[in-house]
Amino acid sequence: MVTEKFIASEYDNVTNRKKQYSLPVRANIVFLLRKTVLENTEYTLTDIKQRNVDNAKFSEEAELLHSLMFKKIRTPIYDIEVNL
């Protein structure tokens, strides 16, 4: 489950989110949330290791999510609009 330590207070507030984060950054946050948190909620760390989930990639994506969410990085990582 996503807890408040994963979500910055600025992002948690819908009105502030639109003011504080650009659309491409918000899209990246949603993409990374889905990849790191939502797709792995049924797995424990042991399960992830046993199922050969790429832990390095998972950790990298989780760190990118945190960096975007807490504004350590202010530009989008992925160009999500490329294939639109």
Q: What is the pLDDT along the chain (84 residues), one digit of tens a residue?
A: 444 466 888 898 999 999 999 999 999 999 888 887 766 655 555 555 555 556 677 788 888 988 999 999 999 998 877 655
Burial of 65 (0-12, 13-18, 19+ CB in 10 A): buried
* pLDDT confidence of residue 51: 57
Residue 78 and residue 27: Cα distance in Å, rounded?
A: 9
Q: What is the pLDDT of residue 36?
A: 78
Q: CB–CB of 40/55 below 8 Å? A: no
8-17: long-range contacts (C-beta < 8 A, 24 or more apart)?
Answer: 8/69, 8/70, 8/71, 10/71, 11/69
Instruction: Tell me the pTM.
Output: 0.70
